[in-house]
């Protein structure tokens, strides 16, 4: 059955752990300058309806390091949704590439791409979720966990708006059996509809999912303190209200970090509005792991690409390669 990476709750805890194991393996290989070329000759189509630094660079570099190649497909430069339906784009691109990564404005677009594609589709962020980011984040947490704590012991406190990253962190914590708290003014907390989506996963894994409007109390036993932008493209008219609701109580600054255990680490998916949701002092301070987190996007994308593409690739023998080369060369020799 063709599977896509659209939502972390589509995957079992065991599958996500295995992808993280593969991430660690491929990271070690990369650090030795020996990334295995497991996707030699394979192609990745990357559709971006919104700008990106980390997702675009990590997927493209990951594919190159694995021996494959990536194409950047930007609406306006391809026909997606304008002169060609999403279904036809998905069907056609699938005939030429081995995997599609898509960052789409609407979650429905990535669902439609996956419905009609005949190769795996990886969600690179929608208005609903950001699964590649949070898989990377949990992997980063395992690397920076306090000594002696296992994954299920970790407490993540997200301070700020219920962004797609915040909601996705709630999803993955629920699946993995971790502890997740969002600290935000009530109006900006995760909606009941989204909370309902994790009830079953949390019950099964034993995860603790909670919400608070008291960031100082929430971070008191946090292992990781995470924040994200307070507003995004299209929310410009809400900036004064959002500033008033979040500042200064929900800013991650030295004062808030001092309320957390000294072992707590600071995380941000980036891009950040420095001096707004988090101060420079925290972002560049000794507790910050934001750059490790960003680098881990590369290693996570490598693991995801290998997980979804490697099993589907044909692995021709040297004899078969030589046979086809011989046939083509014999043909060409008649004209040269
Ligand atoms: N965190 C993240 O997805 O970054 P980009 O928008 O730069 O891809």
Q: Report how far ligand 1's centroid is from the alpha carbon of 226 (Å).
A: 15
Q: Using pLDDT thresholds of 50, 70 and 90, give the confidence band for residue 216.
A: very high
- What's the average model confidence in pLDDT over 296-306? 98
The DSSP-derived string for 65-90 is HTT-EEEEE-BTTB-BTTTB-HHHHH
Q: What is the pLDDT of residues 22-64, one digit of tens each?
A: 999 999 999 999 999 999 999 999 999 999 999 999 999 999 9
% pLDDT > 70, the chain: 100
Question: Is 272's C-beta closer than 6 angstroms to any atom of ligand 1?
Answer: no
pLDDT for res 81: 75
Write down the domain spans for the chain.
8-130+296-313, 133-293
Q: Do domains 8-130+296-313 and 133-293 have the same CATH topology?
A: yes
182 has pLDDT over 90: yes
pLDDT digits (tens, 9 = 90+) for 236-280: 999 999 999 999 999 999 999 999 999 999 999 999 999 999 999
Query: Is the CB of residue 175 below 6 angstroms from any atom belonging to ligand 1?
Result: no
Q: What are phi and psi of 115, to 5 degrees?
A: -65, -40
Fold observed for domain 133-293: Rossmann fold (3.40.50)
130 neighbors 142 (Cβ within 8 angstroms): no
- Tell me if residue 189 falls in helix, strand or coil: coil
Cα-Cα-Cα-Cα dihedral sign, residues 152, 157, 163, 165? negative
Give the distance (Å) from ligand 1 centre to CA of residue 24: 21
Q: Let me know if 130 is a catalytic residue.
A: yes
Q: In whole numbers, what is the pLDDT of the chain averaged over residues?
A: 97
* Pick among 3.30.1300.10, 3.30.360.10, 3.40.50.1370, 3.20.20.80: CATH of 8-130+296-313: 3.40.50.1370
Atom of ligand 1 nearest to the CA of 124: 3
Q: Is 125 in the pocket of ligand 1 (CB under 6 A)?
A: yes
pLDDT digits (tens, 9 = 90+) for 137-155: 999 999 999 999 999 999 9
As a whole number, mean pLDDT of residues 211-234 equals 96
């Amino acid at each position: 059955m063709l599977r896509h990476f659209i939502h972390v709750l589509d995957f079992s805890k065991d599958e996500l752990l295995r992808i993280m194991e593969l991430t660690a393996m491929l990271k070690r290989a990369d650090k030795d300058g020996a990334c295995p070329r497991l996707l030699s000759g394979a192609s990745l189509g990357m559709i971006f309806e919104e700008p990106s630094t980390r997702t675009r660079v990590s997927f493209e570099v990951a594919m190159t390091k694995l021996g494959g190649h990536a194409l950047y497909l930007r609406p306006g430069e391809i026909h997606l949704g304008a002169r060609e339906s999403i279904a036809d784009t998905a069907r056609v691109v699938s005939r030429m590439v081995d995997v599609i990564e898509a960052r789409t404005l609407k979650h429905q677009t990535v669902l439609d791409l996956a419905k009609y594609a005949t190769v795996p589709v990886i969600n690179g962020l929608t208005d609903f979720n950001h699964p590649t980011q949070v898989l990377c984040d949990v992997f980063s947490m395992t690397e920076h966990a306090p000594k002696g704590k296992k994954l299920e012991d970790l407490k993540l406190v997200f301070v700020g708006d219920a962004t797609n990253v915040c909601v996705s962190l709630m999803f993955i914590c629920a699946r993995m059996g971790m502890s997740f708290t969002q600290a935000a003014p009530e109006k900006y907390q995760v909606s009941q509809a989204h909370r309902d989506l994790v009830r079953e996963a949390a019950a099964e894994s034993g995860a603790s999912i909670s919400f608070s409007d008291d960031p100082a109390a929430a971070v008191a036993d946090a292992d990781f303190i995470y924040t994200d932008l307070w507003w995004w493209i299209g929310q410009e008219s809400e900036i004064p209200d959002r500033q008033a609701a979040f500042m200064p109580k929900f800013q991650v600054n030295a004062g808030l970090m001092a309320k957390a255990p000294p072992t707590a680490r600071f995380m941000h998916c980036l891009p950040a509005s420095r001096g707004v949701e988090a101060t420079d002092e925290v972002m560049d301070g000794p507790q910050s792991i934001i750059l490790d987190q960003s680098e881990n996007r590369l290693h996570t994308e490598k693991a995801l690409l290998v997980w979804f593409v490697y099993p589907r690739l044909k692995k021709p023998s040297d004899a078969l390669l030589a046979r086809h080369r011989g046939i083509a060369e014999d043909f060409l020799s008649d004209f040269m």
